[in-house]
Amino acid sequence: MRGVAVKANRLARLTEYAVSDLVLLKRELAGQGRDVIDLSVGDTDLPPPAVAVEALRDAVGDPRMSKYGFQTGLVEFREAVARYMRRRFGVTVDPMTELLPLLGSKEGLAHFPLAFADVGDVCVLPEPGYPPYLGGAVLADADVELFPLTADRKFLVELEDVPRRRIAKTKLVFLNYPNNPTTAVAPLEYLERTVDFCRRHGIVIAYDNPYCETVYDGYRAPSIMEIEGAREVAVEFHSFSKSFAMTGWRLGWAVGGSHLIATLAKLKTYVDTGPFLAVQQAGARVLDEAEGIIEGIMGKLTARRDAAVSAFRGAGSTLEPPRATMYVWAPVPGDLPSRDFGRRLAEEEAVIVVHGSAFGAGGEGYVRAALTVEPERLAEAGVRMARVVDRMGVPSA
């Protein structure tokens, strides 16, 4: 008798999701009574906005909010997103045809290749990069082209450098600026020439922009929709998770040309019935007060960013203060592989970071630390890291 297949063959192309393993590691260390400093997952300890909690409390008692939202969702949410895009980026979008509510941006990004790439089409992905880009492309049975992000090229995906034979088959490229994990930002000139390239070659851009509000020192992160012609080829993804401390609420949106949004919406019709309407109501309230909410959150994250930079420098890592995101992307002191360095930090000092190679081979030599604890705890993490570095035989700074 033929045995039952345990899993689809395509899953063999996917590595283990490193962050899931780190969650288990944290539980194990805490179970040993260790004082764990968890800098792994970008899941802030800051509370959600009070206006979100109040709006959700009011909305959840309304029976109409317990109905299916489908892909249309809550019109008030769509209109609030359109107002936010206009205020924040100077971009005007039709709330009913040029944007789509999402169950968090991760869901939309992972499903995107299913809507736009056929079997064998090339998807260009940054490496290191956010794992759902790879997951979405693999699950769509696409052909993956990994583009190495390097410091000397400012961690930018330069499509001109992808082999021509591959570009001829490329259907989709994932871009993410401000970037996770490298914290890199993209100048407008880069976005302009990338949009132009994609228009000439018929390539769709999935532009992941969840860190557009998580910025420092006066930097302003753009929307790709500000670029002329972007609406023809790009869909931009936004999230409430990072900017508004609402990670578990699972709410985001996609914005782009109506022909692209309609394609993604058709795919999602067969996958989900949209975010909980009460959560969309809360999201609408948050977006209408976005500027004040973000100012409060960023005041706290700026202090944490500065503390993290000092902590890593004190432990011998050479890094510049990031201009954006809620992470630092720190070179590993010495020549220890990033996975081994991360393991030693956890086992010897109960400090959990994500080793760079978890984001792909191009992340080797770095670790990513999330700004999810107070400055005092980040300083303590630096002291512990310095002890590990000292035991490695690498002098601390």
What is the average per-residue pLDDT within 188-196? Answer: 98
Position 394 confidence tier, pLDDT thresholds 50, 70, 90: confident
The mean pLDDT of 52-72, rounded to a whole number, is 96
Mean pLDDT calculated for residue range 361-371: 95
Quick one: average pLDDT of 43-68? 96
d(CA 139, CA 10): 7
CB atoms within 10 A of CB 82: 21
What would the mean pLDDT of 97-104 be, rounded to a whole number?
Answer: 98
**What pLDDT, on the 0 to 100 scale, is given for residue 1?**
46
Contacts of 328 (CB under 8 A, 6+ apart): 183, 305, 308, 309, 312, 319, 322, 368, 369, 371
This prediction has a pTM of 0.95
Beta strand ranges found along the chain (DSSP E): 37-38, 99-102, 122-127, 143-148, 170-176, 204-208, 234-239, 252-256, 327-331, 351-352, 354-355, 366-370
Superfamily of domain 9-47+292-390: Aspartate Aminotransferase, domain 1 (3.90.1150.10)
Report which residue type is found at 343: R
- Residues 38-42 have a mean pLDDT of 93
On the question of pLDDT at 288 being above 60, the answer is yes
Quick one: pLDDT at residue 3? 61
Contacts of 91 (CB under 8 A, 6+ apart): 85, 223, 225, 226, 255
Domain boundaries, the chain: 9-47+292-390, 51-290
Under the banding of pLDDT at 50, 70 and 90, the label for residue 4 is low
| Cα(302)–Cα(380) distance, integer angstroms | 18
What architecture does CATH give domain 51-290? Answer: 3-Layer(aba) Sandwich (3.40)
**Residue 15: its pLDDT value, please?**
76
The percentage of residues in the chain with a pLDDT greater than 90, rounded to a whole number, is 89
Q: What's the CA gap between 394 and 397, in Å, rounded?
A: 9
Asked if pLDDT for residue 395 goes beyond 70, the answer is no
Q: What is the pLDDT of residues 209-268, one digit of tens each?
A: 999 999 999 999 999 999 999 999 999 999 999 999 999 999 999 999 999 999 999 999
Taking alpha carbons only, the member of 214, 226, 249 closest to residue 323 is 214
| DSSP state, residue 326 | S
Over residues 146-168, the pLDDT tens digits come to 999 999 999 999 999 999 999 99
Mean pLDDT value of segment 59-88: 97
How many Å apart are CA 38 and CA 304, to the nearest integer? 14
Instruction: State whether residue 339 is helix, strand or coil.
Output: helix
Residue 46 has pLDDT above 50, yes or no: yes
Select the more confidently predicted residue: 4 or 231: 231
Residues 374-382 have a mean pLDDT of 97
For the chain, the C-alpha Rg in angstroms (whole number) is 21
Q: What is the mean pLDDT of residues 357-380?
A: 95
- State yes or no: pLDDT of 397 exceeds 80: no
Q: Binning pLDDT at 50, 70 and 90, where does residue 317 land?
A: very high
